[in-house]
Structure 1
Amino acid sequence: MAEQVYLAIDLGAESGRVMAGMFDGQKIRLEELHRFSNGPVNVGDTMRWDVLRLWSQIQVGLQKAAARFGQNIVSVGVDTWGVDFVLLSKTGEMLGQPYHYRDARTRGVMDLAFQRVPRAEVFANTGLQFMEINSLYQLIVMNQTNPELMGLADKFLMMPDFFHWLLSGSRVVEFTNATTSQMYHPTQRNWSVEMLRKLGLPTHMLPEVVGPGTRLGRLREDVARRAGLPRLDVVAPATHDTGAAIAAVPTDRTGSGNWAYISSGTWSLMGLELPHAVLTPRALELNVTNEGGIDGTYRLLKNIMGLWLVQECRKSFERNGSPYDYGLLAQVARDARPFRAFVNPDAPEFLAPHDMPEAMRDWCRATNQEIPDTDGGLVRCALESLALKYRMVLGWLEELSGHKVEVIHIVGGGTQNELLNQFTANATGRPVITGPVEATALGNVLVQARTSGSVGSLSQIREIVRASCTMQRYEPQNTAQWNDAYVRFCELLKQPR
């Protein structure tokens, strides 16, 4: 077949890209056409997203795509992080500058919500883990502090859906991202309207939920004209970046339940792909989450703070006159003394600290551990702690699913951290297979290819990824030492071993 081109607009918390996926019927190749920065913008004492600047950069990327590929482009689709959203008025005006999930306004709001709807009832109605950043709590705060703005809201669009609206005029929310909101019912497969009304939230603004692979319409005429593109199909991939990444896990065990994944980046999303949500009391107790996946599957997973700790340490080191690239940072961590101290990566102290190294030292001090006193020691502490948290979460996933995990696939940018990959194999006692780095973009473009009819199934998507990408395998090492470290880690976190 002639090579077809699919465009992935992939927006992350630190950067965005416009990527081209070139598919020849057997293998897929990616080419980055345009990269641009992203991140919070401080407005007064709040943190916001500059979505208009992102839209401007997306259009630059579309212009580059038109110049590079022209009529060979089949479609375009957007994936982003979860939970955040834009509110539109009836006339299509954006209501306010959208908030960043790390904004402090939601601190403590979960307890207020549970006074109206008990925690167990919220979980039964959503299947989602409890995080103060979730859309539900953002809307509760907005309804309390800015009811006039909420009263003007006609459509609630999550981040990728907002950009799809800019591209095509569609006003729907795609399934995989809807499930990150803590407002979507996992068995009724629709918005949890009754629960939302109990919480005093308006529900008229909630749009239709569509599945990954849905054709949303054609590229707006004005957007196409400015970019020099034909009026392409706009297709919703799995719009949550983790959902897209898991679609591209190169497993040959689709449907078996005996493999786990870690989508590794700023956050680590560790989970299983299952046919349905797990809503048991034990799942509620462990605060796991059920997020939507491809073909109506659910991703039973746990959010773990991830390489955020290392990223923030690196920024602090640079501010203090010690710049590192990530390769050198891994080297000084490898050379540091092992198992000196651990932190809980998910402790609230690490969500948005003023200075990550100081926050880590404070945590070690409060738990009566040795305090890491070198840059390498701090990074090693972060990486060992992440690997041990992966082991803890893996045990929870096996318990909840009844499946024994035989192999762990790591995808995403974090696969480039070879030290963490090896630590993960060591800590869990399972072989680790890494790759692809660009899992999210691959999942995005291959879901589009399936919509066009060029790919037939999820299994075929994963077969194409295996044929197209380089993977690396890590076998467990030093398991006795890691077992001893895990005992200490569980004691620190006050969890059973």
Structure 2
Amino acid sequence: MKMHVAVDIGASSGRLVLGEIKNNRLELTEIHRFKNGFTEKQGRCLWNIDQLFTEILAGLAKVRQEGVTKCTLSIDTWAVDYALVDVAGERIGEVVSYRDHRTDHTIDHVTAKLPADVIYQKTGIQFLPFNTLYQLYEEDPALLAKADKILFVPDYLGFLLTGEMRTEVTNASTSQMLNLKTRTFDEELLALSGVRKEQFAPFAEPGDFLGKVKPALTAEYGLPETDVIVAPTHDTAAAVAGTPGVGTDWAYLSSGTWSLLGIESREPIVGQQAFAANYTNEWGVYGSYRFLKNIMGMWLVQEVARLLKGAYSFPELAALAEKEEAFQFFFPPLDERFLNPADMIQEIQAYCRETGQAVPETPGQVTRAIYDNLAICYTLQLRELMQLTGKTLSSLYIVGGGANVALLNQLTADLSGLRVFAGPTEATAIGNLAVQLIASKELADIAHARKLIKESFPIETYIPSGENFAEVLAKYQMICEENGGLKHVN
């Protein structure tokens, strides 16, 4: 039986997961897990990219220790961030995190040179301050001048493993620099950020063969013989590929550090309404598009847990929240002030205080406020999604770590009126593996893969209560609108 390894690295942790089909089920074994996170150095938020590569090698060595002598491997990570590489293949400088504040005001500078609606018609990508377009605009010109290639983070890790450079399309599309019509980098947008098309490696699609892990690495670290397959390297693209939706009347919510809410479409949707609503058309697997909205997600709770210095686990915070009364505090998770504040708890409290509300004080109240307002936000965005697409949705699939939060899942079902299916939690790794299985001819196509996923993993169902929450939704909207509206993360 063929063995496959998913390297799945998120903003807060990474893992190597071994997958194989046994008894008509996809079975997963987590081989290696490690922490991730940016660090602040001299006013910059930086990733430790060398440590991530070391962890990949350590995990792959563990795969060999499990008795696996041959396997395939694919890498997915977060989007938009990049490494600069010189002509000798050496990295230039550090890899800056998308949460760095260097691009806080860059959208205004760029759209003063090229109108926002023109950029949207070219790319179909939502305006987020950390898109690669704006990061490159703020990049040190001296470093850019030295760069022979600009590699997105998962492409750079793949290059370190194999020596081969490619630009995987699902991740590259999030840069806001790919043209929907030409399906390549838009030279007018590149010129705005001071880079050239030649500074990007040739494109690769999910399922393409990248190369073999370098023999020197295999020998030095005791690795299995490994063929590296190009994953949908953007973790959201992988998560959607791993979502077991059937038919066309479902939406997905990839619930992790970010909440990515949308549908899978065969064509981009770039009308004026989609532009005004700041929806994005990220490229997906096998010619699809992910028409979705970015919403601040579990990052809010992650920051609360961090500020409480580990006093409570995530399940313990959820248990505390469940004991609190619902819908006592309102704040908009889409507002840019919650992107990376110095203190998330104080920022939520400050918003409530500024808007004349009671203020959440205890860990349970703060966490309850987060879950209540995320569920409200999901509901309003689902309504907007249906208006923009003309679809009538009957169900929402929640995948990723947030699928474990039963309170939030039930709140979302109750407020939205949709059936909520929660799971699998490891959808990103599963989608990564699904593409490997298709590339290896063990599965025929993505429909076959989703059928296998649905039959392989437990999925919890949440039925709407039928209660009317119109007053709750109206109060949320009133508070937002009466206090300057939303300063969207755009």
Q: Kindly report which structure 2 residues correspond to 1:215-294, keeping only aligned pairs within 5 A, or say none.
A: 215-253=209-247, 256=248, 258-294=249-285
Q: Once the 2 structures are TM-superposed, how far is the Cα of residue 136 of structure 1 from its aligned partner?
A: 0.7
1:346 corresponds in structure 2 to: 334
Does residue 435 (structure 1) correspond to residue 423 (structure 2)? The answer is yes
Query: Distance in 2 between the 1:350 and 1:174 partners?
Result: 30
Q: What SS does structure 1 have at the residue aligned with 2:89?
A: coil
Shift of 1:224: 1.7
- Candidates 24, 32, 35, aligned match of 2:33: 35
1:172-207 Cα offsets, whole Å, 9 max, x none, are 111110111111122321111233224543332022
Q: Equivalences for 1:141-180 in 2 at 5 Å?
A: 141-142=138-139, 146-180=140-174
State the one-letter code of the partner of 2:461: R
Aligned mates of 2:34, 2:317 — CA distance in 1: 24
Do residues 364 (structure 1) and 352 (structure 2) align?
yes
Please give the alpha-carbon distance, in whole angstroms, between the structure 1 residues aligned to 2:59 and 2:180: 36
**1:462 is matched with which residue: 437, 440, 450?**
450
Instruction: State the shift of 1:83 in Å.
Output: 0.7
- Distance in 2 separating the partners of 1:226 and 1:70: 17
Which of 131, 135, 138 is residue 134 of structure 1 equivalent to?
Answer: 131
Give me the whole-angstrom Cα distance separating, in 2, the residues matched to 1:208 and 1:369.
53
Q: Does 1:99 align with 2:91?
A: no
Distance 1:478 1:366 in 2: 33
**Match of residue 23, structure 1, among 21, 24, 41:** 21
Aligned to 1:8: 6
The residue aligned with 1:492 is 479
Structure 1: which amino acid aligns with 2:345?
P
Q: Distance in 2 between matches of 1:195 and 1:263?
A: 29
Contact 2:9 2:15 in 1 (8 A): yes
State the SS of the aligned residue for 1:204: helix
Q: Which runs of 5+ in 2 are unaligned?
A: none
Q: 1:196 aligns with which of 190, 211, 214?
A: 190
The 1:187–1:26 alpha-carbon spacing in structure 2 relative to 1, beyond 3 Å, is: farther
Instruction: Please say if residues 410 and 434 of structure 1, whose CA atoms lie closer than 8 Å, have aligned partners that are also in contact.
Output: yes
- Structure 1 residue 81 corresponds to structure 2 residue 78: yes
Match runs of 1:305-316 below 5 Å: 305-316=296-307
Amino acid at match of 1:17: R
Structure 1 position 365, deviation (Å): 1.3
- Structure 1 position 107, deviation (Å): 1.1
State the AA in 2 paired with 1:287.
N
SS of 2:88 mapped into structure 1: coil
**Secondary structure in 1 matching 2:92:** coil
- Distance (Å, rounded) in 2 between the aligned partners of 1:167 and 1:383: 40
CA contact (8 A) 2:8 2:14 kept: yes
**Mapped partners of 1:6, 1:29: distance in 2:** 11
Q: Is the 8 A contact 1:220 1:231 kept in 2?
A: no
Contact 1:247–1:458 under 8 Å retained in 2: yes
Distance 2:84 2:455 in 1: 41
Q: CA deviation at 1:276?
A: 1.3
User: Is residue 66–residue 227 contact of structure 1 (8 Å, CA) maintained in 2?
Assistant: no
How far did residue 478 of structure 1 move?
Answer: 5.4
Q: Contact conserved, 1:4 with 1:22, CA < 8 A, in 2? A: yes
CA shift at 1:22, angstroms? 1.7
Aligned residues: 483
Distance, in Å, in 2 between the alignment partners of 1:391 and 1:420 is: 12
Report if aligned partners of 1:83, 1:181 keep a CA contact under 8 Å in 2.
yes
CA distance in 1, matches of 2:49, 2:208: 23
Amino-acid identity (%): 36
Q: Can you list the C-alpha shifts for 1:277-329, whole angstroms capped at 9, x where unaligned? A: 1111111100111111111100000000001111111222237xxx1122221
State how far apart, in whole Å, the 1-side matches of 2:444 and 2:71 are: 16
Structure-1 separation of matches of 2:403 and 2:217: 36
Task: Pick the aligned partner of 2:45 from 44, 47, 61.
Answer: 47
Alpha-carbon distance between aligned partners in 2 of 1:330 and 1:42, rounded to the nearest angstrom: 29
CA drift of 1:370 comes to: 1.6
Q: Is the 8 A contact 2:133 2:189 kept in 1?
A: no
Indicate how the Cα distance of structure 1 residues 396 and 69 shifts in structure 2: closer, same or farther if over 3 A, else same.
farther
Paired residue secondary structure (2:66):
helix
Cα displacement string for residues 26-74 of structure 1 (whole angstroms, at most 9, x for unaligned residues) = 2111111111111012221111000001111111101101111322x33
Q: How much is the aligned-residue C-alpha RMSD, in angstroms?
A: 1.5
Preserved CA contact (<8 Å) 1:5 1:69: no
**What residue is the counterpart of 2:107 in the other structure?**
110
Give me the whole-angstrom Cα distance separating, in 1, the residues matched to 2:71 and 2:448: 19
Preserved CA contact (<8 Å) 2:63 2:224: no
Give, in whole Å, the separation in 2 of the partners of 1:224 and 1:485: 58
Paired residue for 1:300, among 291, 294, 307?
Answer: 291
Per the normalisation by structure 1, the TM-score is 0.95
Q: What TM-score comes out, normalization by structure 2 length?
A: 0.96
Moved more, 16-25 or 390-399: 16-25
Aligned equivalents of 1:195, 1:325: Cα separation in 2: 44
- Once the two structures are superposed, what CA deviation does each residue of 1:206-253 show, in whole Å capped at 9, x if it has no partner? 222211111011111112222323442110111111111111111222
CA distance, structure 2, for counterparts of residue 440 and residue 69 of structure 1: 25
2:191 corresponds to which letter in structure 1? Answer: R
SS in structure 2 of the partner of residue 70 of structure 1: coil
Q: Which runs of 5+ in 1 are unaligned?
A: none
| CA displacement 1:413-455 (0-9 Å, x = unmatched) | 1111111111110111101001101001111111011101111
The aligned counterpart of 1:336 is: 324
The answer to whether the 8 Å contact 2:133/2:193 transfers is no
* Paired letter, 2:480: L
Output the CA distance in 2 between the equivalents of 1:60 and 1:485.
Answer: 49
